[in-house]
Copies of this chain bind each other. A is one copy, B any other.
Amino acid sequence: MGKHSRAVDPAQLTDLLRLEPGHGVDLLSTSTGATPGISGGKSAARELQADLAPRLADLQERLYAVGRSGGRQRVLVVLQGMDTSGKGGVSRHVLGQVDPQGVTIAGFGAPTEEERAHDFLWRIEAKLPRPGQIGVFDRSHYEDIVAVRVHELLPPAVWEARYDRINEWEAGLVADGVLLVKVFLHISRETSKKRLLARLDDPTKFWKYNPGDVDDRAKWPAFQQAYQDVLERCGTDAAPWYLVPADHKWYRDFAVTSLLVELLEAQHLEWPGADFDVEAEKARLLAAE
């Protein structure tokens, strides 16, 4: 597939995938197999992603340099989605395109006893990326609404109060220099079943399979409702949600790469200047042994 198949400039992916804050979201009627911005299928997406990879690596290095030079900027990619929606795949195939020195990945499972004894944001705060880093959350504080609600772990009044708490907390992060990139990976119930079955057909993938995943699938509609409410109520101008149709892995990886490139380019990250006399340092170095 040649370059002419590119129907849309990748710099438009943020516009195509952003859920407009304040608008309703209807997950049931939102396609999981669509490929907004790509008309040429897998080969076109792979080709575009290959073009984007060095741009993303350059942007990540600039961010890292800024962080090393006293800047506060950092990125937090929040990945949410049903089991098998590809949160790990994004970590591997999108973040794997940049220098691992600039990436920190944190996963959030069921909270431990110690974590439950604290406010729900305590363990989240502890994993926030340092300046200059791209942090990735594989699941996040949103589980403290979604999973808690679906599994009825706490009274509704508790998780109901968390929408506003999260919005306020995220606004504080953004004010402190965090570029928040919240991504919902949207897959169909059929795709989920296929991917779980594939794990059962391959002994090198048994370790990824958890019988509890099937129990969660039984509650698919309740999870979709819970995610929908989170997408509606926690999408803000400062920290909007991006909905990525994720039935096609090649689209998912292209789309998240493209989102990151566009959002980082909009930060206008400049290489830090020298805080020393360059010519004097050259002379000193040349005079040394």
Tell me if A's interface is mostly helix, strand, loop or mixed.
helix
Interface centre among A68, A95, A220, A288 (most CB of B within 10 A): A288
Interface positions of A from 173 to 229, Cβ below 8 Å from B: 189, 193, 196-197, 200, 203-204, 206-209, 211, 214, 217-218, 220
How far is B285's CA from A268's CA once the two chains are assembled, in angstroms? 48
What string of 1s and 0s marks CB contacts (under 8 Å) between A9-53 and chain B? Answer: 000000000000000000000000000000000000000000000
Which residues from B are CB-within-8-Å of A189?
A: 289
Q: Is the beta-carbon distance between B200 and A281 smaller than 8 angstroms?
A: yes
What string of 1s and 0s marks CB contacts (under 8 Å) between A243-286 and chain B? Answer: 00000000000000000000000000001111010100110111
How far is B210's CA from A276's CA once the two chains are assembled, in angstroms? 8
How far is B71's CA from A9's CA once the two chains are assembled, in angstroms? 46
Q: Which of B197, B207, B281 interacts with A214 by CB under 8 Å?
A: B281
Which residues from B are CB-within-8-Å of A218?
A: 288-289
Of chain B, the residue at the smallest CB distance from A210 is B276
How far is B107's CA from A281's CA once the two chains are assembled, in angstroms? 25
| Residues of A in contact with B, size category | 35 or more
Which residues from B are CB-within-8-Å of A234?
A: none
Q: Which of B88, B100, B284 interacts with A105 by CB under 8 Å?
A: B100
Which residues from B are CB-within-8-Å of A284?
A: 214
Of chain B, the residue at the smallest CB distance from A277 is B211
Q: Which of B91, B99, B200, B207 interacts with A92 by CB under 8 Å?
A: B99
Which residues from B are CB-within-8-Å of A65?
A: 204, 207-208
What string of 1s and 0s marks CB contacts (under 8 Å) between A56-90 and chain B? Answer: 00000000010011000000000000000000100
How far is B110's CA from A125's CA once the two chains are assembled, in angstroms? 25
Interface assignment of A112: CB less than 8 Å from any CB of chain B: no
Of chain B, the residue at the smallest CB distance from A276 is B211
Interface positions of A from 98 to 146, Cβ below 8 Å from B: 99-101, 103-105, 107, 138
Which residues from B are CB-within-8-Å of A156?
A: none
Q: Is the beta-carbon distance between B197 and A272 smaller than 8 angstroms?
A: no
Which residues from B are CB-within-8-Å of A100?
A: 91-92, 95-96, 100, 103, 105
Q: Is the beta-carbon distance between A285 and B214 smaller than 8 angstroms?
A: yes
For the A-B complex with A193-B288, A204-B271 known, give 5 more contacts whose Cβ atoms are closer than 8 Å.
Answer: A96-B100, A101-B105, A197-B286, A206-B273, A206-B274
Closest 5 interchain pairs by CB? A65-B207, A206-B274, A92-B99, A207-B272, A204-B271
Q: Could you jot down 19 A-B contacts, CB within 8 Å?
A: A65-B207, A69-B207, A91-B100, A91-B101, A96-B96, A193-B288, A200-B278, A203-B271, A203-B273, A206-B271, A206-B274, A207-B271, A207-B272, A209-B274, A211-B276, A214-B284, A214-B285, A217-B289, A218-B288
